[in-house]
Amino acid sequence: MTTLARSRPITTAITQTLKTHPVILALIALFLLFSALYPERFLGPLNFSTILRQFVTLILFALGPSIVIVTGSLDLSYVGIYMLGSVLVWLLTPILGLVSIVVILHLEVATGFLIGVIQVKARIPSFILTLSLLVIYSGLTAYLAGGYPRSVKGYEFITATLIPNLPTAFLWSIPIIAAAVFIMKGTRIGTYLSAIGSNEEGARLAGINVDRYKILAFTLSGLFTGIGSIILFQHHGGSATVELNLNTMVWPLLAIVLGGTSLMGGSGGPQRTILGALTFTVVNRGLVLALLNPEAVQLLLGLLLIVSIVVSSRGLKGVTVT
């Protein structure tokens, strides 16, 4: 292995990357396919800018949960926290002024911490815990907003255009993604979280404070969702949505699974989610540009979700499934 790497470093590096990230091949293939099918629609600057805009939405929602999924748990609360955070901004801006955008961050970190503590202490499955919280938060959002979407003025500076045709939210997301990848790849937090995901009992016996790191994973998820939500809040036009949509909840999960993070935990993480989010966005744009009707697009994306879930859980025989 080492000799091979010394003699032909670049080819080996490429084959290695392709082995661990097979989705790259799919991404390239899809890109070429759509470029060949309708070059004038797909290869225009407008389409690239749309792809980037959708990619940002997806990745900023998916970064946090992909940290939690590495530990084998699931965090579905992101959309709910985003909605409640936005409506709190709408409520607080007249009182506190522009500082109130920070409330999103506080809310999300606090929620993440709370989820972690409940999950660790009360030991209930994280999907039902975070799903319940998602529903509770969306209900609170609708109540606080009075049932209507509310728009807030004054935060336009967050997404003010810096470079033409390049969404500013995308520029913002680069350091955020880098920070998430650094935490998971460059610090021992990432190593410990993967260890917990692949064998929780083993990690405990190896001396890792499993409970504390699980709480940390949920808190980090809240933190990244929080930073992301501040940007997405303005990226989506500075308004607080009140409608909880199944698709908004599911597509970030699809991006995570497509990227190759196993739902069983132990492998993957934010670095793979970038690829997953990009692939998903390209597929979505490709289908939309194919001028299919929206219902058919949703159906095809749903099938893609099932296939990728099945593929990502493949080869895990002997693992207890609940």
Partner 1 sequence: MKGEKMIAGRPLARGWLRSNTTTIGPILAAVAIIAVFQVINPDFLSYNGLITLVYAMSYFLIAACGLTFVIMTGSFDFSVVSVLKLAALLSVLYVDRLGLWVVPLALLVSVGFGFINGLFVAKFKVPSFMATLGVSVVVEGIALYLSKGFLHVINNETFRALATTFIAGLPSIFYWAMGIWILSTFIALVTPFGRRIYAVGGNPISAGLSGINVAWYRIYVFMLSGLFAGLAGVLYMANWGGGSMELGADAAIPLFASVVAGGTALTGGVGGPHRTLLGVIIITWIQAGMFMLAVGRDIQVVTFGLIALVMSIATIDWRRITIIK
Q: CA separation (Å) from 232 to 4, 15, 206, 315?
A: 45, 36, 40, 37
The reply to whether 131 sits near partner 1 by the rule CB under 8 A is: yes
The reply to whether 9 sits near partner 1 by the rule CB under 8 A is: no
**Which residue lies nearer to partner 1 by CB, 140 or 290?**
140
**Which residue lies nearer to partner 1 by CB, 161 or 320?**
320
Pair 67, 184: CB distance under 8 Å: yes
The reply to whether 292 sits near partner 1 by the rule CB under 8 A is: no
| Residue from the set 57, 119, 168, 229 that interacts with partner 1 by CB under 8 A | 119
User: In the 8-state DSSP scheme, what is residue 200?
Assistant: H
**Which residue lies nearer to partner 1 by CB, 92 or 300?**
300
**Tokens in use for 15?**
């084959």
The reply to whether 303 sits near partner 1 by the rule CB under 8 A is: yes
Q: CA separation (Å) from 124 to 17, 119, 205, 316, 318?
A: 37, 6, 22, 23, 22
The reply to whether 291 sits near partner 1 by the rule CB under 8 A is: no
The reply to whether 305 sits near partner 1 by the rule CB under 8 A is: yes
**Which residue lies nearer to partner 1 by CB, 40 or 295?**
295
Backbone Cα Rg of the chain = 20
Which SS3 state, helix, strand or coil, does residue 269 take? coil
Question: How many residues are present in the chain?
Answer: 322
What is the C-alpha separation between 321 and 76, in angstroms, rounded?
19
The binding track of 178-197 with respect to partner 1, each residue x by CB under 8 A or -, is: --------------------
What is the C-alpha separation between 104 and 154, in angstroms, rounded?
16
Nearest to 227 by CA among 178, 167, 276: 178
The reply to whether 84 sits near partner 1 by the rule CB under 8 A is: no
The reply to whether 163 sits near partner 1 by the rule CB under 8 A is: no
The reply to whether 44 sits near partner 1 by the rule CB under 8 A is: no
Burial class (CB in 10 A: 0-12, 13-18, 19+), 322: exposed
The reply to whether 267 sits near partner 1 by the rule CB under 8 A is: no
What is the C-alpha separation between 221 and 153, in angstroms, rounded?
28
Give residues 214-253 in contact with partner 1 (rule: CB under 8 A). 243-247, 249-250, 253
Count, residues near partner 1 per rule CB under 8 A: 61
Pair 127, 72: CB distance under 8 Å: no
Least distance in Å: CB of 80 to partner 1? Answer: 9
| Residue from the set 13, 32, 128, 178 that interacts with partner 1 by CB under 8 A | 128
What is the C-alpha separation between 225 and 80, in angstroms, rounded?
11
The reply to whether 124 sits near partner 1 by the rule CB under 8 A is: yes
The reply to whether 288 sits near partner 1 by the rule CB under 8 A is: no
The reply to whether 147 sits near partner 1 by the rule CB under 8 A is: yes
What is the C-alpha separation between 4 and 11, in angstroms, rounded?
10
* Residues near partner 1, by CB under 8 A: 71-74, 118-119, 122-129, 131-136, 138-143, 147, 200-201, 243-247, 249-250, 253, 257, 263-265, 295-296, 298-303, 305-306, 309-310, 313-314, 316-317, 319-322
